[in-house]
A and B are shown apart, each in its own frame.
Chain A
Amino acid sequence: MSASAKDKQARREALNIEGSYIVQAPAGSGKTELLIQRYLKLLAHVQRPEQILAMTFTRKAAGEMKSRVLLALKRAREAAPPKEAHEKTTWEIARQALRHSQTLEWRILENPQRLKIQTIDSFCTSLTKQTPLLSGMGSLLEIEENAGKLYRETAHQILTQVEDDTPTGLAVRAILNRLDNSKPRFLDRIVQLLNKRDQWMISFFENADEYRSREDQERILSGLVESTLKECHDSLSPPLKTELIQLARYSGSNISATNPDDILACLKNLQDFPEPSADKLKLWKALASMLLTKSGEPRKKLDKSIGFPPGKNDTAQNYKDRMQDILEELKERADLIELLVNVKALPNPRLNDEEWEFLENMLELLPEIDRILRKIFTDRGKIDFAEIALSSKKALGQEMAPSDLLLKLDSKLTHILVDEFQDTSFKQIALLKLLTEGWEPDKGNSLFLVGDPMQSIYRFRDAEVGLFVQAKKNGLGHIPLKNLQLLTNFRSQKHVVDWVNRCFSKILPEIDEPDRGAIAYTECSPHQKESLEPGVVLHPAAESKSNEEAHHVVNTIQNIRTRHPGDSIAVLVQARPHLLRIVPLLQEAGIQFRAEDIDPLTSRPAILDLLALMRALISPLDRVSWLSILRAPWCGLSLKDLHSLCRLDHKSPVWDLLNDPDRFKQLSKEGQQRADRFIQALQPALNLFPTINFRNLLEGCWIKLGGPACIDTYTQKDIQVFFDKVTEVLDGGEFDNLHNFEGILENLFANPSTGEGHAVQIMTIHKAKGLEFDFVLLPGLGKRHKADEKQLINWITHGHNLLFAPIPQAGEEDSEVYEFLKRLEKDRGRYETRRLLYVAATRTKKQLHLFGHTQVTKDGIAPQSPSSLRHLWGFIAEDWKKVFEEIKPPEETAIKLQDKPQYLQRLPLNFETPDAPPDIRTEPAMDLSLEEEVLYEWAGTEARCLGNVLHRLFETIVKEGLDHWDVQRVDQMTPSLRSSLLAEGMSPVNLEKTVEKGVRALKNILKDGNGRKILKRYENEGAELALTYIDGNNYRTKIVDRTYVDENGVRWIIDYKTGERSGGNVEGFFKQEIKRYRSQLESYERLIRLQGETRPIKKALYYPLHQRLVEI
C-alpha cells in the first residue's frame, strides 16, 4: 500500500469514536485537522460538550484549536460543501455536530466556553478551584509565571536552617560541605531542584516507600544497568556470540597469564555468553574492552596487551584473523559500537557508603523543601504552575474514584484528546491515568493521543519522550491504545522531504531507547512535487565571526525577497544569542521583521537610559546612573563636560556638583545650556521619591527631559514594556524590586516590531513548532552549546522509577553512578538536540538554508563540539566540505577602534520640551460629601461607637415620643445597647463599661430638664436632620443632631456631645468646647436660615453625661 493510501486508512480509523488511539503524526502530516475532525465527531455524539476534554500544550495552541473548531461549526451553517476533499470531510462532520448541538440547545456558537479545549495547566486550575480542600489549595492563589523569586526565597530559608540541630540542619550541612561551603552555590542548586520539582515530587512523594532505602536505589540502578546489557545482548547475533566466547576465552587466558589484574583476565574461563544481568557486569565490560579502544573505537591493532600476542604460530594467527573479522564487521555496525560504549561506561550498581549517606540526607531534605515552599506560597499569596498540577493530582487521587468526583462536580469526562503527546510529562501521565481510572471498556469512553516523538523538544519543561513509546507499547493505565501512523508530509516539497529523510535517518537512532531518550526515525513520503532546487542550501563559513554570518543571512534574505516576493521567510535559532548580530543588521537593511521574545530589552540604549534614570531617582549617590542620564541623548553632555563636572571629587552627589556654581562654570558653553535644561527639568521631581507612585514619577521625568524625542518607532513599544514592568512591580507591592530592576529586565524581550503582513519571522525553534514557512534559515549552527550545570542531585527516570545520584564533592572526581547518570542525561540531551534540528528543518515548505562555521583541525575542517553542526556532521560533512572549498575565505578586515572618532547622539541644543496640550473641557464636576472630618490620631474605638449609638438612641426617643421612655424602659435597653455597640465594632472587653456609660447618659438626659426639653416632640422639629446645600462645587450634607422651635418661638439647634470630662477643670473644658464647635453650629444656623427660618435661633451643645446644656 502506498503511504497516502495508508494515511487515508489511518485517518478514517481515527474517526472511530469508540476506539482509543495513539497516533504518531510526523511534521506536516496534518494532525491538527485530524484532531479537529475527531473532536467534531465526538461533539456530535455527547450529551454535553463539556464531556470532551481536548488538552493542548500551550495557551496559544488551545486558542487556535478552539478557533478552528468554531470556524468549522460556523462554516457548517453554509449549505454548499467546500471543494477540497479534506475540507469536505470536516464540513460534513461539523454539520452533524451542529445539528446535534441545535437539537440539544447548547447554543455553542454563542457560548464557546463550553468547548473544553484547554492547556493542562488551565484544566488543573479549574479542577483545583472546584476542590479547594482535596487539593490542599484552600482557594486559588495568584499564579506566578516566573516563580524563580519564590524558589530563591525558599532556598534562603532552607539555608538558614544550617544552624538547626535537626535532620534538616544536618542535610543542609552535608550539602554545604559538598559545595565547598558556598552559599551562592547552595542557593543555585536548591533553586535548580525547585525548578524541576514536578519531575521528582510526584514520584517521590507518591512512591516514597520505593525510593527511600539504599536497596531500592541499588535495585533501580541494577535495572538500568541491565536494560543496557539487554539491548546489547539482543543486538548480538548467536553466531557472533559463539565466536566471541572463544575469542574472549583465548584473550582472557593469555592476559591472566601475564597480568592477572587486567580487566580482561576474568574472561579466561568463559563458557557461556554472559546473561544481561548486573552480576555479570564485569564480564560484559571485559568483552567491550576487548573490542573497543579507550576512546570507544573498534580496535585496529591487535597485540598482547589485549591478549592477542603476535602470530608466532598458527593458533595465534588464527585467533588474530578471526578477531580481525569481527572487528571489521563491528566497524559497519555503529549501533553496536554505541551499545558497547555504553556498556563500558556502566557503573557498578552499588552506592558507596558516603554517597548513600549524602543521598539519605537529601531525601530527608526534600519534604522540608516542599514544606518551606508551601509556606512561602502562603506568605506571598502566590503559587506556581507546578503546584497547581501537583494539587489537582492530589485532589483526584484521594479516597473517591476520580470519575465519581468529576461526576459530582459535573465535569464528567467521556472523551479525552491530547495533542503534542510527545512532550508529555510524568505529571500529565499521572493525571490522565486518574482521569480515565473509572473508564470501562465499551462504555463509550475514548482516549486519543496525538504526537510526533521525533518532535519531542521540551525536556527542559519535563517532557519525557519515553512516555510516548511506553504508551504506544502498553497503552495508558488500563486503557489499551491502538497505534496509528501517518506517513505523508503535506507541507514540504519533495527535495526537502528527501533531504530530511536522508539526513535524519542517519543521525537519529534506528531503534527506540527510552532510557536514553532515543527515538527511531520514521521516514515520510512527500505529497508535494519537487520544486526549488536544491531543497537545502549550505552556507559554510571559515570561523566564528558572528558579524560575517549575520551579513550573510541578511544577504540571503534579500536574495529570496527579490526572487520570490510574497513568500514567507523565517529565521529560526536554537538560542537567542545567536541572533544578537542579525537583528540590528535587519533593521539597518530596512527589512521588516517580527522577532518574538528574541531581543533582550537591555540591548536598547533607550531602555538603558531609562534604567539609569530610574536608579538616579532612587539613589542620589549612584554616580554611574547620574552621569549616564547626563550623557543620555536628552541631555547629551560630552565626556569632556562630564569630566569637568566630576574631576577631583569622588564622592559628592552629582546633583550637588551640578548645582555648584564653580563647577558649573567649568562646563563648555553648550554644556552649561544643556545642563541647565536638565536641572530645570528634574528640579521639581527630585524629592518626590518615594512618596508618590514611582512609575508616574519616572515617566514624568522622562517626558520632561525629552525622552520621547530620543526614541524611534521601533523603541516605542519597548519603552512601554519597561514602564509596564515597573507598574507590575509596584502593583504587586514589591517595592524592593525597584532596586534590582536590571535583574527583572534580563528576562524581558524587546517587542516584535509588527511590520504586519510580510515580515521576516524570527524566533526560536521551540516557538516555531507547529508553524510553516516557505523559506527557513538556520543560522549559528556552528556555535558551541552551553554545558549543563551540575545538579545537586542528579535524578533520572527509568520506566516509572526514579534514580538519584549525589553531586560529587567539590574539587573531586565524579562518582561512577553520577557519571553514569550524567551520561544518560547527556544522551537524552543529544537526541533532543537532533530532534530540535528535525523540527527546524521540517518547518520548510520550499527551501532550507543552513549557516554555520567550522574550525580547522588536522583532519580538515570540523565543527566545534558540541554544536548543532556537529550533530549534523555525520550526514552533512561531505557536502559541507565541498561547498566550503568553493567559497573563498574573505579577507581580514580587522577594525582598529582606537583610531576612530566616537559619536554622540543627542537632542539639538534648541530643543525644548513642548507644552502640554490643554485639558478636555468638561463642566465643573460636582462632589458629594459629608461634613469634613477632623483627622485624629487613632486612639481606640469606644468613643466613636458610643457616640453613634447615643445619637441614634436620642433620635429614636424623639421619634417614638418621650412619654414612652421611663426608667424601666431604659433598663430593658441594655441588651439592645450591647448589640448596637458590638455592631459598631466595639471590643467585648470594654463593652459592659461602655454599656453602663450609655445607660447613664440615657438616664441623665431623661432626668434632666434640659434633656427632656430637647427630646420632646415639637412642631417644626428635626432629629438627625440631613441637609444638603451647595458649597462651591460640592453638594455637602450636614447632619443636625436636633432642632426644634420651643414654646417661645425660638429655633434651637442642638449638637450632642457624648464625651465625658473626668475630673479637672470642667468649666474650662466647656469654654474650650464652645470655641471648638462654634463655627460648626454657626454653619448649621446658616443652613436653617437659608431654608427660610426667620425666628430667633439659639445654638447649644448638649452633654448627656454631664447633664449639661451649653449655649453658644
Chain B
Amino acid sequence: MVDRLTLTVNSRLARWLLLHDSRQQSLDGNQVWERPAIYSISEWMQQAWLQSWPEQHVLSELQSKHLWQKIIREDPATPELNLLHVQGAASQAFKAYQLIQEYRLPQEPEGFIHYTEETLVFRRWMTRYQKQLQEWRALDPAELMDALTVRMDQGHISPPNEIIFHGFDEITPQMQEWITLLKNKKVSIQFKPFEPSPVTSDQLKEIISNKQTTVQKYEDANEEVRQCARWIRSVYKEGETIGIVVPELEIYRERLEREFKAELAPESVYPWIEKHIPFNISLGTPLSHEPMVHLALLLLSQNSKRIPLLAFSTLITSPFLKLPDGEKQFRRNLDWSLRGGTITQVFLPQVLKQEERKKFPALTTLLDELMSWVDDTSFRLPSEWARGISKFLGKVEWPTSFETLSSQQYQVLNSWNECLDCLSSLDRILQKINRTQAVSHLTHIARETLFQPQTPEEPIQVVGLLESAGMEFDHLWVMGCHDEILPPFPNPNPFLPFLSHQKPFNLPHSTAEQELIFTEQTLFRLAHACKHLVFSYPTWQEETEMDPSPLLAPWVLKENTIQSSTSNKVQDHSGFAVSLERVEEFFPISVSPEEIDFIQGGTGILKNQAECPFRAFAIHRLFSRNKAFAELDMNDSLKGSMIHKIMELFWNQVRTSQNLHDLHDSNQLVELIRSCVEETMRFFNLDTERQKVFCQLEQKRLISLVDTWMEYERERSHFEVVETEQEKTVHLEGLPLNLKVDRIDRTTDGKTILIDYKTGHLLNLKKWFGERLEDPQLPMYSMDMNADSVAFAIIRRGDSRYRGLSSEENIIPKVSSNITRENPELKTWEDLKDFWNTGLKQLATEFLRGHLNVAPLHSDETCKYCDQNTLCRKTEVLSFSNGDKE
C-alpha cells in the first residue's frame, strides 16, 4: 500500500511535481528511484477503479459525448428544433451532467419541468442517457468519484495513509463527500499550497501590494507579448523559474509562441534549422491542422471519382504520399497544365494514359487506390473503418516511410494512431456507418485532439489560468488582464435551470457575482505562487479600447516600468537597418534576332505594348505568367470561344447570305444551328454527363442566341463569307505576328469586311482613335487585308448588332463611315488607315527596340486585371517619376 499519495488538479501539475521530485532525487545523489505516487486525480481514480476489478466500466469522455449526441439526434423533438450544432449541444449536456454529479444538484423531474424548453428537454435526454448507462453497466466519467467512494467504503479499495491534494481552487460537494470518507478512514489529508476558501478583497489587495506588483499597459497584445519576451531575457537567472500565465491562452498562444521563440531563440525564425526552444507552452493546436494529418484527411474525404482540381493538385504533389524522384517533374507539369483554364474537377480514370501508367507506378497506385476508396459503399463498424483507413493509407505510403520522419512528425503519427483508437472505441455507439460518416467522425476527432509536441520541462513556462493551479515560480507575468476577462462574463450552462440550480448552488460561471469571487480567488492564488509579479493588458483590441481589470486598476502605472528597448529578434537586428540604394535602369533592351524567332503572339503583343510597355515585355519576352485555379467551369471566356466555334462551323457550311435565306425559308436554319451547337459542345468536351441539364440549358441558349443573330445577318445586303478563323503570320516592322481573323465577308460589289465576334463587355470605338492603339486587332487585320469595313459582331442576348467603321455607308447596316465624328482630324477611310498604320508601326517599333517602361495607359483601369502587378513595382516606379521634382 502506498503511504503517501499526491493528487493534483490536472496532469500538467502532476508532471511538474514529478519533475521537482526527480530533481530532488538527483540532487540527493540517487541514480534510480521508485517513481513517487503523484498523479492527477482523474488518472488515479481511473487506475484505482480498474485495479478493484469492478463490473462496471467508465465511459471515456469521447464515448460519453457521442452517446449524448446519439440521444439528442434520436430525441423526438430534435427534427423540429433543426439544430445547427449537435456536437456542441452534446458537449454542454455532458458538462451539465457533470455539474449535477459534482454539485449534488437535484435530479428529480420536478426540479426541471417548470423551467425552460432547454432544461425540460435535457431532463428527457438525461433519462435516456442514464438508461443506456445502466444497460451497458457503464458509468459516466463524473460518476466515477462516487462509485469509487462506495467501493472504498465497502473495502474493495484500500486508501493510502496520507493524501495531499495539490492545486485545487475549489472542492466540489462530491469531492467533499469522498474526503469525509477518507477522513473517517483515518487518512491524513493535506492541501497544497493551501486549502481552497474564498478570499476577501482586502486580502487580495494586501497580497498584491506586498508583492510590489505592477500593472503594465501596452498598446496592443502584440506589443504586450513582445515586451514580455524581452523582460524574460532581462530577469532570467539560472536556477530560477519564470511563469507566464495567460487567461486567454487560446487567443494569445500563436503569437506568444512565435514572439518568444523569436526573442529567446532568435535563430529559430529559420524553420529549416532545428532549434531547441527554451520554454514550454501548455496548449496545443488541433491535430487536424498538422500538414501531414491535413493531407491524410484530404485524401480520405474525397467522395467521387471527380475530385476538385485543387485537391488533386495537392495530392499528387504531396511529399507525404509516395513521390519518387522520377515522377516529380511529370506530376508538377501535370498539375500546372490543368490550372489556369476552366477545369475545376479532375476525372480520375482519365488522368493517366495507358502508357503513362507503367512509367509512373506510384501515381498509378495512388489514383487506383483512391478510386477504389471512393467506390467503397459498405456499411461497417468504426473499428473496421479504422482498420480500412489504416490499410488504405498504408497502400499509398502515407506518411512515406517511418524512418524519414522528424521527431515531431513521429509524434504526430502517434497522435493520429490514437485518433484511430478513439474511432474504434465508438463501435457500440455509432453502430454501422458508411465511409463518409466514418471520415467525418475521424476528422472531428482529429480536430478535437490538441497536438503538442512533447518537449523537456523548461524553467520558462507559459500556461493558462487553470493550468497554473499549484505551480510556483520566481517570476510571474499574468498577461491580457483586461476588464472583460478578469472577471469574465458569466456563462451558465443552459441545460440546468437557473433559479433552482445554478444560482442557489453557486455553480461555476453561473453569475457575475460568482465569477468575481472566483477571479479574486485565482488572483490571490497567483500572487501567492511567486516572488515577483507583473500584470499586463493591451489598450486596444482591434478597434475597441480596453480597460485594465478593475481588480488591478489601483496598480496601473502611468509609465510602464518594464519597457525594454533592446530586442534580440533577428528582424530587429541592427544589421537590417541599411538604406536602400536607388539605381537607374538602362533601357531599352532591344529584341535580338534570335529572340524574334522565339516570340510568339498575335496582336496581343501590340495591345499590351499600347496599354503598358512593361506588360508587353514581361509577358512576351520574360514569359512571365501565372495560373490560378478556376472557380467555375463553363465561364464567360469558354462561352465566348464556343460562339466563335459555332460561327465557324456554321459559315463553313453556309457560305453566302443567299444560302442563309434559303435555309431560313425552308425552315432548316434552326436545325443547322442546332447541329453546329452540338458539334461545338462536343468539341469543347463539356461535362454533359454530370451537368446534363445545365448543358441542355446552354444548348438552348446558344441556339436561340445564334438564331437571333442570323435574323440580323439576313437584313444585310448580299455577302459571301470568304474566310473563317483564318490564320497567318505577318511581319510588322520585322515583328512576326500571328493573326487570326474571325471572319472575312465579301459583298457583291467586292467590298471586304473584317469581322470580329464579341460576346463580352461593352466596347468602345474610342480605343481605335487614341494616341496609342489600344485595340489593334481589327486595325491590324485591315492593314493586312486592305479591308473596306471593320466591325465587331456583338452577339449577346438582347443586344446583337454590328459595330465598326466602313469606307462608305451601308456596307453593313448601321456601321457608319463617319470617321470624322470619332476624330476630327481624320477625313477619309484612307486617313484612318494611315492613322492606324502609323500607330501600329509605332507600337511594333517600340516593342522591338525594347521600350519597356511601366506606363499604364489609364492608370487604375489598365492595371485592374493585370497579373504582373507584383513584378512591375508600379507604385514605386511611378511615385519616383512623379515626385522627382527636387
Contact = CB atoms under 8 A, between A and B. Distances in A.
Nearest to A1029: B32
A383 B381 CA distance: 32
B288 A111 contact: no
Nearest to A767: B543
Contacts, number: 527
A643 interface: yes
B459 A922 contact: yes
B387 A939 contact: yes
Contacts of A708: 570-573, 576
Contacts of B57: 979-980, 982-983
Given A114-B512, A648-B598, A926-B23, A904 B583 contact: yes
Given A649-B623, A708-B576, A1090-B31, 18 more contacts: A64-B545, A111-B550, A129-B491, A130-B492, A615-B626, A625-B626, A627-B618, A691-B292, A810-B798, A902-B584, A904-B585, A906-B580, A916-B266, A920-B232, A933-B414, A938-B420, A956-B51, A989-B383
B604 interface: no
- Judged by DSSP, the binding face of B is mixed
Interface residues of B, number: 207
Given A605-B876, A980-B53, A621 B458 contact: no
Contact of B855 (A141, A703, A898): A898
Interface in B514-529: 515-516
Contacts of B34: 1025-1028
Contacts of B276: 919
Interface string A900-914: 111111111001111
Contact of A138 (B26, B88, B545): B88
A1063 interface: no
Contacts of B292: 691
Interface string B13-53: 00100110011011000011111000000000000001101
Interface stretch (A268-276, A305-313, A402-410): A402-410
Contact of A987 (B320, B383, B851): B383
A964 interface: no
Contacts of A559: none
B265 A810 contact: no
Contact of B115 (A399, A408, A633, A809): A408
29 contacts: A112-B483, A132-B88, A136-B84, A137-B85, A138-B86, A184-B636, A410-B511, A605-B875, A605-B876, A608-B873, A646-B623, A647-B622, A688-B271, A708-B571, A709-B580, A710-B580, A733-B289, A904-B584, A907-B578, A913-B575, A914-B575, A920-B233, A924-B456, A940-B383, A941-B383, A979-B57, A982-B57, A986-B425, A1027-B32
A239 interface: no
Interface in B491-527: 491-492, 494-495, 497-499, 502-503, 511-513, 515-516
Interface in B112-153: 115-118, 121, 137-138
Interface stretch (A172-180, A467-475, A776-784): A172-180
A1067 interface: no
Given A138-B89, A708-B576, A952-B51, A377 B84 contact: yes
Interface stretch (B210-218, B685-693, B733-741): B685-693
Q: Which of B272, B387, B425, B487 has the most CB of A within 10 A?
A: B272
A584 B383 contact: no
Contact of A1029 (B31, B82, B266): B31
A941 B701 CA distance: 59
A640 B576 CA distance: 27
B278 A925 contact: yes
B394 interface: yes
Contacts of A134: 116-118
A643 B54 contact: no
Contacts of A754: 219
B375 interface: no
B602 interface: no
Interface stretch (B648-656, B811-819, B863-871): B863-871
Nearest to B510: A410
Contact of B635 (A183, A383, A612, A700): A183
B454 A929 contact: yes
B632 A897 contact: no
Contacts of B33: 1027-1029
Contacts of A703: 269-270, 570-571
Given A903-B585, A917-B568, A63 B383 contact: no
A987 B697 contact: no
Interface stretch (A18-26, A435-443, A992-1000, A1031-1039): A1031-1039
A647 B416 CA distance: 48
Given A898-B853, A919-B278, A979 B585 contact: no
Contacts of B852: 639
Contacts of A205: none
Contacts of A927: 454-457
Nearest to A948: B50
Interface stretch (B586-594, B659-667, B775-783): B586-594
A748 interface: no
B716 interface: no
A736 B115 CA distance: 46
A137 B84 contact: yes
Nearest to B410: A935
Instruction: List 4 A-B pairs, minimum CB-CB distance, nearest first.
Output: A811-B798, A139-B88, A914-B575, A138-B85
Given A627-B871, A700-B270, A133 B797 contact: no
B442 to A, nearest CB: 12
A708 B574 CA distance: 10
B683 interface: no
Contacts of A387: 84
Interface in B32-83: 32-35, 50-51, 53-58, 60, 77, 81-83
A688 B272 contact: yes
A664 B86 CA distance: 61
A720 B222 contact: yes
A938 B138 CA distance: 27
Contact of B870 (A628, A908, A933, A1088): A628
Nearest to A610: B870
A341 to B, nearest CB: 28
B349 interface: no
Contacts of B81: 133, 136
B494 to A, nearest CB: 5
A764 to B, nearest CB: 13
A540 B294 CA distance: 59
A928 B622 CA distance: 57
